[in-house]
Every structure is written in structure tokens, then in C-alpha cells.
Structure 1
Amino acid sequence: MLSVLIATTLAASSPQVNGTAPASAAYADCVLAHLQPGLSDRAIPLLQQACASKHPESYVASAELERTYSAQRQARFDADRAAAERAANAAASAAQAAAEREAARAQGAKAK
């Protein structure tokens, strides 16, 4: 829900090309104009639905914008997760190598 509101805000404030409003501006403007503090979790989808029915072309553009942002966030998340996994694996390998060296050193000291 929050991501829809963020995308709506971004769409409403996105730069304009050649003086024309972005495709999702009408839907975003409608949502932002009627969004008020204290709206319930049930009222927000109804507000979005009303604005979508009032501005169907703009809603489609807004949904596409949200889909694009979502794909970008997912790609960033996947890249960060892969980097964390590589770092964890490297740390585990280093710990295993240190443990093996220590075991070998202990065995060498015991044999003397």
C-alpha cells in the first residue's frame, strides 16, 4: 500500500517532457488531492479505485510505473542478497581454513 502511495507521489512530481504532464499525473493528482490523514486501511483502496475509474488511462500508466519501480527494487534486493551471501561464504571459508590450521598446529604440537 505504501509503495502505491510513493509511486503516486513520484509520478505526480516527476519531471515533465516538452511541457506535457506525465501519463500518470491525473490519477496521482486525484489520489493526492483526496488523501487525508486518518483515512482507514479500508478507505485508501476505495479512494484508489475511485480515482482509477475516473482516470483509467492515467491509472494504467501509474500501475506500469509502480511495476517498473518494483522490478528495480527487487533487482537491487537480489544483488544485495547475493553480495551478502558471497561475503558470508567467504567468512565461513576463512573460519574453516583457520580452524583446520589450528587443528593441524595442535596435532603437530601433540606429536612432539
Structure 2
Amino acid sequence: MAVFLIAHVKVTDDAWVPAYAEKVHDIAAKHGGKYLSRSGNITTLEGEKPDSTLVALIQFPSLEAVKAFANDPEYAPFGKARQDGSVSTLYVIDDTDLAGTIPYLPKASG
């Protein structure tokens, strides 16, 4: 089951950005992660505009793979730098349909 890491990041000190942008996608790839987007082009269609500099969307093969990426010792200094130089919210969703009415998505359990 594919899962998607969604990161809303508001950069407060951009010193960490160049090294993070250069290296972290390789660390994610080591765990099966593939960036689908890492963009600052955020268009609000409804509701409040997010207070984010960028939003990243990364597909992983499983929740375990995302956790392995997040806990990878190679990622640790980059994650710490991001945390120190931004306000970030990261969350993971799977590829299921809660209502179970979209035929090409698995129905969510529970």
C-alpha cells in the first residue's frame, strides 16, 4: 500500500535549505521514497491560505518505509536543521478511500 508524506514547511531561517534540498531526496530514495512535488507554488482554492513557504509530497511504499526514512541516522542532521530553521508539519496518508466508493482505491479499514 502506497503512502504519502505531506510536509508543510514555513522557512524561518533559510541557512539549512541548500544542503537539505541537495541531499534529502537521495535519503528518501534509499527508503523507496519518490518526490512527487516540492513546491512553493501554493494556490488556495478554498479556506485559509496555508502559512507555508513550500509543500512537499513524497510517495513511499509503506508507512514502515516513511518511518525508516524519518529515523535514518543519515537524515537526522538534516531533520534537525529543518526543525531549527522552520515551522513544519509533516503527516502521512495512505492510498485508501474512507467512504469506499472510489472503485480504483482500496477501502479504508476501521
Q: TM-score range by the shorter chain?
A: 0.3 to 0.5
Q: TM-score, normalising length from structure 1?
A: 0.32
Q: Which has the higher helix share?
A: 1
Q: Which has the larger radius of gyration?
A: 1
Q: Which has the higher strand share?
A: 2
Q: TM-score, normalising length from structure 2?
A: 0.33
